[in-house]
Structure 1
Amino acid sequence: MELLGAATVVLLICIACLFSFAAWRGRSGKGKMPPGPAPLPIIGNVLQVKPKNMSETFQKLSEEYGPVFTVHLGFDPVVVLHRHDVVKEALVDRADEFAARGPMPIGDRANNGLGIIFSNNEEWLQLRRFALSTLRNFGMGKRSIEERIQEESEHLLEEINKTKGTPFDPTFLLSCAVSNVICSIVFGRRYDYKDKKFLALMNNMNNIFQMMNSKWGQEKEKPNSSFHMKNLITSTFDLFIAGTETTSTTVRFGLLLLLKYPKIQEKVQEEIDRVVGRSRKPCVADRAQMPYTDAVVHEIQRFISLIPLALPHTVSKDTRFREYVIPKGTTIFPILSSVLHDSKEFPNPNEFNPGHFLNENGTFKKSDFFMPFSAGKRICPGEGLARMEIFLLVATILQSFTLKPVVDLQELNVTPTLSGTSNVPPVYQLCAVPR
């Protein structure tokens, strides 16, 4: 009887697999869904898609199925866009069709579809416009924001000075500095790095960022408006998440790379000394005269590919894309790492090389493939602020300190500890020696 029962189970599994395979074959091909590996019942392609390194998995699948392919994460099909031309075509050239935010469990649980990051349709448009106009009113893109960053960098330098050249982990100090810039914009004040409420906020943001691996007025005369208190609070927290953890993690990863490549660090310091000197702090206007430093900052963002898969998108209606038809509601993964690590645009893309953004004569070289903040209508609204912060913080730190590793360079690991939703640098320590 036991053998008969086991045989029945095996037979049922085989039948389910056959039905699943037949259904998959019927849904994919020209005029249908993009091709992809055959899914198993219930679990889909989970065995083939490694959660800890999905970008590498998608790279291998793209070599077999092309730049547009389908994988099944459980029951749900996901269309993967893997290459600059298809990512640009979807997010930029056909932005309206691909602008909707795809499902994210952490967003659904934490935000209930509210805020800027996880909302959709008219609600998202209203909140994004409001956020951008409010940030502009608070000084986004103006000198006042630059002054806030410069002021906070002074406090950061004071804290680094307290280490007196001894080993320390820069994670906490960088997070505090970047978060305080957002605090100064939103709340009109900065906080001491030991303030308990400030530390609680920092801890919550860090936890959410790890899991993702992701009194303002009401308009009472519009009861159906997106501008209700809960939505505005959620949107504010979105700005903190997007404007703190991503930027501080990028700078932290950047300092690690500068430890690993001391000659690059020296060249940045030489340019800082030549253009800025020691009597004043670097400013955004200096960037035009500092092509090597600008190239290093761009290469940091390119190399680390902080959000390799971007945040998921979806299509709001049945959409013909190239030779396929993507059904309404299908999740879309635009693989940003496939753009940032394109070997034709960036030779030897897995090597950290500022030359990727330099012309032969040493001037800065722009690239359409540089999209660490995504692209199109869902591009990060704080891109301008983040780029300003990364440049100023890196330049200000290197103006005052030489960064020294606490282990041999050969032992210094620059491989991310997480390679799913976000690429986080491994924990490390450094010594900041005053110049």
Structure 2
Amino acid sequence: MIFQTLFDCMDFTYWLLLVFALLLLFDVVNNWRPHSFPPGPLSVPFLGNVFTGVNFKTMEKLTQEYGPIFSLRRGSERMVFISGYKMVKEALVSQLDSFVDRPVVPLFHVIFKGIGVVTSNGYLWKKQRKFANTHLRYFGEGQRSLEKYLEMESNFLCEAFKEEQGRPFNPHYTVTNAVGNIISSVIFGHRFEYSDSSFRKFLELDNEAIFLSGNAQTQLYDAFPGLMKHLPGPHQTVHANYQQILTFLKKEIEKHQEEWNPDDPCDFIDVYLGEMEKKKEDPQAGFNTETLLVCMLDLIEAGTETSAVTLRWAILYMMHYPQIQEKVQAEIDRVIGQSRQPTMADRPSLPYTDAVIHETQRMGNIVPLGFPKMASRDTTLGGYFIPKGTAITTILSSVLFDKDEWATPDVFNPGHFLDSEGKFLKRDAFLPFSAGKRVCLGEHLAKMELFLFFTTLLQRFTFSPVPGEMPSLEGVLGFTHSPDNFRVLAVLR
């Protein structure tokens, strides 16, 4: 009777408060930090730590407060962040098989669908990565090598810079187009002129999508995909851009299918179409047109954005440090001269130039947080228990600026990569491509691109700022860390 009377007295407001209290209790209980799980800041009920910026500068502050392994909560999902060379090496190298999987990242899953090379797992991932890795190195029997493509494209890039006639210009998309042409030659079998408006649009769409992917507002999609997909915001632009990019790539596939000669494969698409025929009895390997489409996107992004951004950083650093630029040019003049083009065979004889390239990668800090991974089994790291299925992020910027590994971590210093005799010094804590089984697929190509493009440019040009326009070294942070747009003077030597 008493309960009935109480029930009758409760109006809608009371019921609403009761439901809220129950939901709050459920959230607290359901998301209670597990025993021995990495520490982290207090989270807001239902939302978690969505107001904590996921960028490398914020991560550095959290590392100072909670140590090299800490956690954040996005919605109902807990994520672990690993900082510093010692712990990152432990996770990616010492425990090679513990963090080899990829989690579902809702923002990207809409486009990449857990297939292809970057976001896939298990048997499909092993087959796709092995195939892609093989044909990035050895594509099209009898075709020109990657180095020949690079030498040719370096000349086109230099001609484009020469056409500026020493006037101020923004090198952004000229550099990006040049770098993009290398992977395009591998995948499509042809390059694109720098004046090609369709490819320029492709590059602009991709650049915008990559930039917006690192936006805090965009990343709300990962915490609440069911809600955010119905709301406006930068995540809608990311998805729309990728859809246009996929349309561009589909046309290339259709063209190849029409002209395909299984006896004379000329590029990655041709070879993949042949593999589709061979693997018809093994559908789990995923060799089909849908996976081909995502693989192409994976390879283009792995082979374009990071290298192009690094080259823009390199030009910017040469503008800021003319004495370093002069020293690079003197080494190139001494070893190669002006009568021939640089080749990969020159690399061992150009230790200072190589050191400057590596220092540019370190200071440029192109992919500060890498790409998320996931615990493939229950494991312990740094004394903390990390359950299977937990998403982890290795903070690569913390390795590249680790005070225990670099003499002057916050200063552009090529000496980090030189021994006492001036010979090139390989550094274990140099991990811009990450490490382990998920190391960047485009590492081999990127190293060739950076060396040949940079050396050829410095052989032929001196880069200096437009008077009164010294660009800032403060980068713009999206998914990658890139220079803000700047103008440069490229003067023929």
Q: TM (normalized to structure 1)?
A: 0.90
The residue type equivalent to 2:348 in the other structure is A
The residue type equivalent to 2:106 in the other structure is P
Distance 1:299 1:5, change over 3 A: farther
- Post-superposition Cα deviations, 1:250-283, rounded to whole Å, max 9, x if no partner, equal 1011111111111111111111111110001111
Aligned counterparts of 1:101 and 1:136: Cα–Cα separation in 2: 24
Who is 1:27 aligned against?
33
Who is 2:126 aligned against?
125
Taking the TM superposition and a 5 Å limit, the aligned residue runs for 1:66-105 are 66-105=67-106
Who is 1:226 aligned against?
286
Which deviates more from structure 2 when the two are superposed, residues 37-46 or residues 8-17? 8-17
Taking the TM superposition and a 5 Å limit, the aligned residue runs for 1:357-368 are 357-368=417-428
Taking the TM superposition and a 5 Å limit, the aligned residue runs for 1:10-409 are 27-29=33-35, 32-47=36-51, 49-51=52-54, 54-138=55-139, 144-213=145-214, 215=256, 216-217=272-273, 218=276, 219-408=279-468
Distance 1:412 1:109, change over 3 A: same
Aligned counterparts of 1:290 and 1:164: Cα–Cα separation in 2: 29
Who is 1:417 aligned against?
476
Shift of 1:311: 0.2
Who is 2:226 aligned against?
none
Distance 1:156 1:23, change over 3 A: same
Larger radius of gyration: 2
Shift of 1:5: 11
Q: TM (normalized to structure 2)?
A: 0.80
Contact 2:173 2:200 in 1 (8 A): no
Aligned counterparts of 1:377 and 1:279: Cα–Cα separation in 2: 42
Matched position secondary structure for 2:283: coil
Distance 1:65 1:188, change over 3 A: same
**Residue ranges of structure 2 left out of the alignment (5+ in a row):** 1-10, 215-237, 239-255, 257-271
- Post-superposition Cα deviations, 1:363-403, rounded to whole Å, max 9, x if no partner, equal 21111000100100110121011011111111111111111
- Post-superposition Cα deviations, 1:212-261, rounded to whole Å, max 9, x if no partner, equal 33943223233343101110121012101110111111101111111111
Q: Moved runs in structure 1, 4+ residues, more than 6 A?
A: 4-24
Aligned counterparts of 1:17 and 1:269: Cα–Cα separation in 2: 64
**Residue ranges of structure 1 left out of the alignment (5+ in a row):** none
Matched position secondary structure for 1:157: helix
Matched position secondary structure for 1:265: helix
Contact 2:318 2:464 in 1 (8 A): no
The residue type equivalent to 1:71 in the other structure is L
Of all paired residues, the percent bearing the same amino acid is 41
Aligned counterparts of 1:234 and 1:300: Cα–Cα separation in 2: 30
Over the aligned positions, Cα root-mean-square deviation in angstroms equals 2.6
Shift of 1:14: 9.1
- Post-superposition Cα deviations, 1:176-222, rounded to whole Å, max 9, x if no partner, equal 11111112222222222223443343234323322333943223233
Aligned counterparts of 1:278 and 1:7: Cα–Cα separation in 2: 83
Aligned counterparts of 1:250 and 1:137: Cα–Cα separation in 2: 25
Distance 1:403 1:16, change over 3 A: same
Question: How many residues align structurally?
Answer: 423
The residue type equivalent to 1:346 in the other structure is W
Aligned counterparts of 2:401 and 2:169: Cα–Cα separation in 1: 31
Aligned counterparts of 1:343 and 1:10: Cα–Cα separation in 2: 51
Shift of 1:407: 3.9
Aligned counterparts of 1:388 and 1:82: Cα–Cα separation in 2: 29
Which deviates more from structure 2 when the two are superposed, residues 185-194 or residues 131-140? 131-140
Matched position secondary structure for 1:95: coil
Who is 1:428 aligned against?
486
Shift of 1:8: 11
